[in-house]
Amino acid sequence: MQLDNLFDKLWQQYIHESPDSGKIYNLLTGTGEEIINDHVAFRTFDDPRINVAVLGQFFKDLGYEEKGEYHFAVKKLFAKHYEHRTDETRPKIFISELICSEFSPFLQSTVKDCVNKIDPKKLATPDLLYSGTLWGELDYDIYKKLLSESEYAAWMYVFGFRANHFTVFLNHMKKLASIEAINEFLKQNGFKLNISGGEIKGTPVDLLEQSSTIANEVDVKFKQGKFKVLNSYYEFARRYTLDNGKLYQGFVTASADKIFESTDVNR
């Protein structure tokens, strides 16, 4: 099925480019756990050729529907989440976009230049979701300049289209079903957690608790040579039930805001 194929491509790219996530996955399955994904997250810019609506449409065409909307005032992001219409075991999709008009003319023109370089044929199929950067050679000076305004913009410039992170759905775990247990497991195995806003983001009252590792540091090839950049992290989520007995399926803006910082070099 096309959707399985898409998730498989995204997962293979993710564990290839962010090897810690693959190591954690193998450690967890090695203890007998079966991994179900809570959500897969994507980043993009708000250019109408590649914005949330464009990326979201690929998932709508594959059986998803739009659910929640989220605004991140400080980071200047807008996001939507999507759920599969009929299959609850499918991961939710969380797509955010940077609101470029709220940044400098430099950032705006850089984004426009990048999108102008994308072959329009690339924009037409879900392959776009794992196509990486489509704007040629990367310039370290541009990266640094973007980084001074927005870590998100700099990340997107360097890594482009790919899953930003996958998320383990802890409710389906046998032994490591609590956020506390998984965090302890990760630390014992030498992985660092994102501590921005505390190791655990959200509370049972918010109906969602999340934690994440710090992103993998990888070598990225720029015009000027190779430099280390943080790319992707692994996230963990535990959901709680609503009064109607159903699991809460949304996202908590304050927690997601801190999770974004898992790729922040300046934190």
SS3 call for 95: strand
CB of 57 to Ni ion, least distance (A): 21
Quick check: 41 binds Ni ion (CB under 5 A)? yes
Helix then strand then coil, % of the chain, to nearest 5: 40, 25, 35
Q: How far is the CB of 153 from Ni ion (least distance, A)?
A: 19
Name the residue nearer to Ni ion (CB basis): 37 or 51: 37
| Closest by CA position to 266, among listed 186, 157, 150, 159 | 150
Q: Do 106 and 79 contact (CB within 8 A), yes or no?
A: no
Output 42 or 157, the one with its CB closest to Ni ion: 42
**DSSP line for 168-207:** EEGGG-SS--SHHHHHHHHHHTTPPBP-TT-SSBS-GGGT
**Residue 158 binds to Ni ion (criterion: CB under 5 A):** no
Considering only 36-44, 78-86, 147-155, 178-186, which stretch makes contact with Ni ion by CB under 5 A?
Answer: 36-44
Rounded least distance, CB 95 to Ni ion, Å: 11
Q: Please, what is the minimum distance in Å from the beta carbon of residue 39 to Ni ion? A: 6
**Smaller CB distance to Ni ion: residue 118 or 176?**
176
Our CB check for Ni ion shows the closer of 41 and 154 to be: 41
**Nearest CB to Ni ion, comparing residues 41 and 215:** 41
Contact indicator for 160, 132 with CB cutoff of 8 Å = yes
Q: Which residues contact 190 (CB under 8 A, 6 or more apart)?
A: none
Mark the segment that binds Ni ion (CB under 5 A) among 20-28, 123-131, 230-238, 240-248: 230-238
Residue by residue, DSSP assigns 7-31 as HHHHHHHHHHHSHHHHHHHHHHHHT
Q: Which of 93, 40, 35, 36 is nearest to 63 (CA)?
A: 93
User: Would you say 41 or 163 has its CB closer to Ni ion?
Assistant: 41
Residue type, 55: L
Q: Of 83-91, 123-131, 154-162, 227-235, which part binds Ni ion (CB under 5 A)?
A: 227-235
Which residues is 43 bridged to in the sheet? 96
How near is the Cβ of 32 to Ni ion at its closest, in Å?
25
**Contact (CB, 8 A) for 75 and 57:** no
Interface residue with Ni ion among 97, 235, 257, 261 (CB under 5 A) is 235
Query: Residue 8: which residues within 8 A CB-CB, separation 6 or more?
Result: none
Residue whose pair of structure tokens reads 């803006």 in the numeric block: 253
**Part of the chain binding Ni ion (CB under 5 A), chosen from 7-15, 68-76, 77-85, 228-236:** 228-236
Closer residue to Ni ion in complex, CB, 47/257: 257
Kindly state the smallest distance separating residue 235's Cβ from Ni ion, in Å. 5
Stretch that binds Ni ion, among 33-41, 74-82, 127-135, 188-196 (CB under 5 A): 33-41
Q: Smallest distance from the beta carbon of 258 to Ni ion, in angstroms? A: 11
In the chain, the amino acid numbered 193 is: L
- Residues of this chain that interact with Ni ion (CB under 5 A) are 41, 235
